[in-house]
């Protein structure tokens, strides 16, 4: 059964601390969590190159105490401040992105989905990186397809202007992450940075489909998105062990929508519900039906998935589902089912393949 709640958020000021020790001591005492302002200050320090031992200690303590939405929101604000932003003005933007970490090594469903969503009429600013937990990340497959991924913010803007879709490569838009990478590698365990990427779109995409590998992360990420207050309509998805919707089975959806009039502080309505592809006529599949491989293999499957024609299989169905959700969140459809109908019609028409080729050519010209 769906549940609905309403919240209103305003942005608070940033106070930068001289070091991480006060925050570490607070967490060791254990009588409270950090405030959003404290984590914003701490992560501002981290993104400027704080002491690695202190960074590792803070990340470990945050994980052990279980990060709160307020804490995550502070981290997101710090990353947004530190990033190389992409200024796309008032364009309504969509991103379809996952946290990764599901260990399934499927094809690049979310990346193919943004191409289909763009072909259906959405304007897409896709954030991504090379593989971390899988054999092929979004940057890897796009590069294998021929898309130039390492665009500057100015080039991203031109790409969006020309083909309504562009890729934002994490090392270019979030260069301060270089200070964190060695610590994360040495720790070898999940930290909050595993979930920050999907919430720190450098173009400030107001519409987002975010997949998570762990359902326990859903309310934390939804709460953080509301606290930061940049999105207008978003869904957090966990689907049968994957960080996206698939025909494997029902997906849990946590939807947040801004209901305030334009120009006023955002007021969010939230809805928690289950979505089953069977309800819109998409049959079940096995995980093996969605399997991918390395960049070259995934690139070939990417091309095949986007081909026009009314044939179908589990991979095409998965891309239709996630692009359909994107069309719904973007406002091109009034329901998920209608969004999936739009994405299916667009896929069958061959428009997605045409757009992919245009994207490849334009990106190389920049």
CA gap 15, 24 in Å, rounded = 17
Those residues whose C-beta lies under 8 Å from the C-beta of residue 152, and which sit 6 or more positions away, are: 172
Structure confidence at residue 14 (pLDDT): 37
Burial of 273 (0-12, 13-18, 19+ CB in 10 A): middle
CA gap 287, 205 in Å, rounded = 31
pLDDT band, very low/low/confident/very high, at 7 (cuts 50, 70, 90):
very low
Residue 263, pLDDT > 80, answer: yes
Measuring CA to CA, how many Å separate 27 from each of 22, 32, 42, 62, 216? Answer: 9, 7, 13, 7, 21
Residue-wise burial string across 317-341, b where 16 or more C-beta atoms lie within 10 A, e elsewhere:
bbbbbbbbbbbbbbebbeebeebbb
Residue 3, pLDDT > 70, answer: no
14 or 72: which leads in pLDDT: 72
CA gap 275, 260 in Å, rounded = 26
For the residues 259-268, what does the mean pLDDT come to?
94
Structure confidence at residue 135 (pLDDT): 85
Residue 5, pLDDT > 90, answer: no
Structure confidence at residue 133 (pLDDT): 59
pLDDT digits (tens, 9 = 90+) for 231-249: 999 999 999 889 999 999 9
304 or 187: which leads in pLDDT: 304
pLDDT digits (tens, 9 = 90+) for 338-366: 999 999 999 999 999 999 999 999 999 99
> HSE (CB half, 13 Å, CA atoms) of 338?
8
Residue 194, pLDDT > 60, answer: yes
Structure confidence at residue 18 (pLDDT): 57
- The neighbour count for residue 189, using CB atoms within 10 Å, is 9
| Residue 201 token pair | 């779109």
Residue 119, pLDDT > 60, answer: yes
Q: Which pTM value belongs to this model?
A: 0.92
| DSSP per-residue letters across 272-332 | EEEE-GGGGTPPP--GGGGB--SHHHHHHHHHHHH--SS---HHHHHHHHHHHHHHHHHTS
For the residues 197-211, what does the mean pLDDT come to?
96
Residue 13, pLDDT > 50, answer: no
Query: Sign of torsion, CA 113 118 121 123?
Result: positive
User: Where is average pLDDT lowest: 41-50, 80-89, 186-195, 331-340?
Assistant: 186-195
Residue 283, pLDDT > 50, answer: yes
pLDDT band, very low/low/confident/very high, at 134 (cuts 50, 70, 90):
confident
For the residues 259-264, what does the mean pLDDT come to?
93
């Amino acid at each position: 059964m769906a549940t609905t709640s309403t919240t209103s958020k305003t942005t608070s000021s940033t106070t930068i601390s001289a070091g991480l020790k006060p925050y570490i001591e607070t967490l060791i005492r254990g009588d409270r969590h950090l405030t959003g302002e404290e984590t914003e200050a701490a992560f501002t320090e981290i993104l400027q190159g704080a002491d690695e031992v202190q960074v590792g200690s803070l990340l470990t303590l945050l994980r052990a105490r279980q990060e709160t939405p307020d804490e995550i929101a502070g981290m997101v604000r710090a990353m947004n401040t530190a990033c190389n932003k992409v200024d796309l003005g008032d364009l309504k933007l969509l991103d379809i992105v996952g946290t990764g970490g599901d260990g399934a090594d499927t094809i690049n469903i979310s990346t193919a989905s943004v191409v289909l969503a763009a072909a259906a009429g959405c304007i897409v600013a896709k954030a991504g990186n090379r593989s971390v937990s899988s054999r092929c990340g979004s940057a890897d497959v796009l590069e294998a397809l021929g898309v130039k991924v390492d665009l500057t913010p100015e080039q991203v803007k031109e790409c969006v202007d020309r083909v309504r879709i562009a890729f934002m490569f994490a090392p270019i838009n979030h260069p301060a992450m270089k200070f964190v990478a060695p610590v994360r590698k040495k720790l070898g365990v999940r930290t909050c940075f595993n979930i920050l990427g999907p919430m720190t779109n450098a173009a400030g995409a107001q519409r987002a489909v975010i997949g998570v590998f762990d359902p326990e992360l859903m309310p934390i990420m939804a709460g953080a998105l509301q606290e930061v207050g940049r999105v207008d309509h978003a869904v957090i998805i966990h689907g049968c062990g994957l960080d996206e919707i698939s025909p494997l089975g029902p997906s849990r959806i946590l939807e947040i929508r801004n209901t305030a009039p334009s120009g006023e502080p955002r007021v969010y309505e939230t809805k928690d519900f289950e979505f089953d592809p069977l309800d819109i006529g998409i049959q079940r599949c096995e995980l093996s039906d969605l399997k991918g491989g390395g960049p070259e293999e995934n690139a070939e499957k990417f091309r095949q998935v986007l081909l026009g024609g009314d044939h179908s299989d589990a991979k095409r169905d998965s891309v239709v589902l996630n692009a359909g959700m994107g069309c719904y969140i973007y406002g091109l459809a009034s329901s998920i089912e209608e969004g999936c109908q739009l994405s299916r019609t667009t896929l069958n028409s061959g428009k997605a393949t045409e757009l992919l080729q245009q994207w490849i050519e334009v990106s190389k010209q920049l």
